[in-house]
Amino acid sequence: MEQKLNIAKILKEKQKNHHITIKQIDTDDHPIHVLYIHGIVDIKQIQDSIILPLSEWEHREKAPLPHAFTAEPLLQLESEKEIDQHLLNGFTLLFERDAAYAVDSAQFAYRSVQEPVSEMTLRGSRDGFIESLELNIALLRVHLRSTDLKFEEFTLGTRSFTNVSIAYMEGMANEELLRDVRNSLNAVKEDYIPDGGVVEQLIERNNYSLFPEIQETERPTKVSSSLIEGRVAIFVEGSPSVLLAPTTLNALFQQADDYNFKWIPASLIRLMRYMAAFFAVMLPSVYISLISYHHGLIPTDLAMSIAKTREGVPIPSFMEALIMQMTIEVLREAGIRLPKPIGPAVSIVGAIVLGEAAVTAGIVSPLMVIVVSFAAICSFTIPDYALSLALRTISFVMLFAAAFLGIYGLILMIFIVSIHLIHLQSFSTPYLEPFAPIYVKRWKDSLIRFKLKKGGGRIE
Amino acid sequence: MSDLKQMTMLQLIVVFISTMIGIGIILMPRDLAKAVDSPDLWISIIFGAVAVSFVICIYVTLAVRYPGLTFFEMSAVIMGKFIGWIFNFFFVLYSLIVAAYILRITAGIIKNYLLDTTPLYAVVGAFLLVSMYLIYNGAGDIVRFFQLYFPIMMFMFLVLCLLSMKNLDIQNIRPVLQNNIGSTLSATTITFFSFLGMEFLLIFAKLIKKKKAKHLLITMWASIGFTTLIYVAFHIISIGVLGVEELKEITFPTIEMAKSIEFQGFFFERFELIFLFGWLTTAFTSFTAYTYASTLGLKNLFKPSKWFLLVAGVFIFTFTMLPKGLTEVFHYSTHIQVISFTAIVVLPALLLVVSTVRRNTYASS
């Protein structure tokens, strides 16, 4: 059935590698070789449950090796590629005559389960995914103990052999969606997969779109509730971010807290989040278009005070807004990259020195500082970072539209963005799903979140 | 799924209302005030709606007799290749001219109220390009766009109506029904054209899910009824706020009405921005529908190719830039009405007559 493995040759090759430990256990008529990579295996486990039983084993001449172990599953390997892969995944290999077997003994170095930094919630579970695929799946099982929960394994990366798993609820996930996800994963031909974000970009369709087609989360509860909705989760070995497909704009605005608090305040907060996102995109550009094109639309008193604050500002309002927006982006990027102890220093320098001093020096008007920083704060309310990146990019484009065509340009830009969103699909699901095309039934969990049904129904 | 396979009745109603309400809501009050010269002018709109409802019957009969065909395909089947081609050519020309007319009026208003120093070609070009982007994405996306903006549009109109209530002077609306019926009736010639857009039944007919005459009639009447309601509400409020005499003098009365809304103490005292956004959306939807129809027609006249969207765009841009000013545009509007009447009443009626005489029906595949 398969070509015979040349054990002697493989052993010779492996001996050259210093990290691979090879132990020989002599039996009466033939030796058994034990191979593992030091540092990624549990030495105690190998000692107790592999080497010890093997050396004490009495009937080894009569029965072949698979019968030697009872608790640990023993896999027979059939190719050199499999041997390498298992060795690298922390398995212990056993070579007996021409046969090779593998026992799972992996113990990679992982951090412990922590609360995800990028997705904070007030209420609800605080566990977050870590870098281990196996432990991540175990974390998911904590929240979703169902026999319908199914997993499928993939190996991505022709060189890195990264393990990727998809999870879905059988009977709830659409068969077509599953086929789509499987095909996309199988089509990946990259040689190295460093993280989930790379997988995301390799399987999404619209590479020129700013909007994320796949949602990324580090919270097991988010994954479990998405699976219940019929979505598919993609786990990538070595990555704490789990990918959820398909996604919609509406899903990207939802947060775990929305469901853990009573529905009226939760809905108000969600509505506010939508409005904040709108402000984050539109506020600076609306302000510019009002003061550079449509003075008439501003109430007279306000117009007077704006004119007073802009007195002595040497640059046009468009440049002023552009500079301020850029400064905010630079501060934000600096804040992310800096080590934690220095972080507050940057915000002090940014807020007080740049903001205060720039106004006092007459480079920018105080109202512009208010507008731009409020827009920046609004953008922090967007739960999904990829979406917030997209919206911030659009807010820059909006600035240009406002500078060229005022409010008219802004309205046209809103049209363009909505035309794009209408066209956009995430794994065949329209991005604006409950709104266009209209599914009135799903409006229950869109702009606002209706109350949970007590009769066993579930909001979708 | 960017290509549309079927449309539900609700989608169709949304498309028709979005197409019909366009520049009419801006221009009609003045024309009507001039023609009727009495607070009864809104009654003419109802007469117009009734007239349109009869024309609808022609379309419905055609759509039921030739299911699965657009106007362009129907005319070739009924009239033969050559005459059918001329019919189609005329219909395409009509769509292009109406699209250009809508665009020119829109650009005029934008220049008047928002961007007085921006060159016309920039205002026109930006609008045209955005609309072409939507059409490029396919009919399915056009319908979804209409669906997305329909609630927003309606909400804005509702807000505007409610806010205008404060300025409403009931004396302006009275006396009701004191005018002689003749002049009210004669104004139907004006109001009839504010329902332009219903002819798209002949374009969308092949996508409709329920093809029975009953369903089509309900759909069309619902759309016309709803549009009439909005028109009538707006006209009554316009008369109430501005009065008939003032309506006659102002070029864009509806916008002036929106401008007159003022709420002291509120952060924004001016609400015309809300109206301009809502109205720009309706203008955009109407314009897109006509540009889409002309692109479809051009593809039918010659051979299917993606380039015809660009061709239609170039034609519309040229037509739009031809008139020197808004006065010249208004000067053309009577000619446009004649062309419209020919394209949407005479041509379909001819098709229906010939098809009845020749008794050829088309078996849908």
Test mutation, B4, B111, B145, B287, chain A, max A CBs within 10 A: B145
CB contact under 8 A, A419 and B122: no
Task: Assess whether pLDDT exceeds 60 at residue B42.
Answer: yes
Q: What is the mean pLDDT of residues A416-435?
A: 90
Q: Which one, of B181, B161, B238, B193, lies nearest residue B49 by Cα?
A: B193
Distance from CA of B131 to the nearest CA of A (A): 9
Per-residue confidence (pLDDT) for residue B363, from 0 to 100: 46
Contact status, residue B220 vs residue B212, Cβ threshold 8 Å: no
In this predicted structure, what is the pLDDT of residue B4?
62
Tell me the range of A370-384, B68-82, B206-220 where mean pLDDT is highest.
A370-384
pLDDT at B266 over 70: no
State the average pLDDT over residues A77-103: 83
Considering A34-38, B299-303, B314-318, the range whose residues carry the highest mean pLDDT is B314-318
Tell which wins on pLDDT, B70 or A71.
Answer: B70
Listed range (A118-127, A210-219, B347-356) with the worst mean pLDDT = A118-127
Instruction: State the nearest Cα–Cα gap between B94 and chain A, in angstroms.
Output: 26
Express each pLDDT in A43-60 by its tens digit: 888 888 788 777 776 655
- In this prediction, residues B118-122 reach a mean pLDDT of 91
Q: Is the pLDDT of residue B288 over 50?
A: yes
Buried/exposed code over A278-305 (b: 16+ C-beta within 10 A; e: otherwise): ebbbbbbbbbbbbbebbeebbbeeeeee
Residues 399-458 of A with CB under 8 A from B: 404-409, 411-412, 415-416, 418-419, 422-423, 425, 428, 430, 432, 435-438
Using CA coordinates, name the residue in chain A closest to B265. A299
Q: How confident is the model at residue B365 (pLDDT cuts 50, 70, 90)?
A: very low
* SS3 annotation, A168-200: EECCCCCHHHHHHHHHHHHCCCCCCCCCHHHHH
* A151, A167 Cβ separation under 8 angstroms: yes
pLDDT at residue A68 in the model: 60
**Nearest-neighbour CA in chain B from A21: distance (Å):** 56
Q: Dihedral (C-alpha) A441, A444, A446, A450: value to the nearest 10 degrees?
A: 180
Residue B116 in this model has a pLDDT that exceeds 50: yes
pLDDT for the residue numbered A177: 92
Q: What is the mean pLDDT of chain A?
A: 85
Write out pLDDT tens, residues B153-202. Answer: 888 888 888 888 887 888 887 777 777 778 888 888 888 888 888 888 88
Q: Answer yes or no: is pLDDT of B96 > 80.
A: yes
Q: Do B148 and A415 touch (CB under 8 A)?
A: no
Single-letter amino acid, residue A68: A
* Confidence (pLDDT) at A73: 74
Mutate to test the interface with B, among A206, A248, A306, A438 (most CBs of B within 10 A): A438
ipTM > 0.90 for the complex: yes
pLDDT-derived band at A91 (thresholds 50, 70, 90) equals: confident
pLDDT at A459: 45
Query: Residue holding tokens 């060795």?
Result: A87
A-B C-beta contacts closer than 8 Å:
75
- Among B144, B147, B273, whose Cβ lies nearest the Cβ of A407? B273
Binding-site residues on chain B for chain A (CB distance < 8 A): 1-2, 10, 110, 114-115, 118, 122-123, 126-127, 130, 133-134, 137, 141, 144-145, 147-149, 267-270, 272-273, 276-277, 280, 284
* Domain spans, chain B: 9-358
Question: Residue A190: pLDDT above 90?
Answer: no
pLDDT over 70, % of chain B: 93
A293 touches chain B (CB under 8 A): yes
Nearest CA in chain A to B272: A297
Mean pLDDT of B279-295: 92
Report how far residue A93's alpha carbon sits from residue A247's, in angstroms, rounded to the nearest whole number.
Answer: 42
d(CA B187, CA A105): 89
The average pLDDT across A396-409 equals 93
Q: Do B267 and A418 touch (CB under 8 A)?
A: no
B9-358 to CATH, choices 1.20.1740.10, 1.20.20.10, 1.10.443.10, 3.30.470.20: 1.20.1740.10
Q: What is the mean pLDDT of chain B?
A: 85
A192 touches chain B (CB under 8 A): no
Mean pLDDT of A245-268: 88
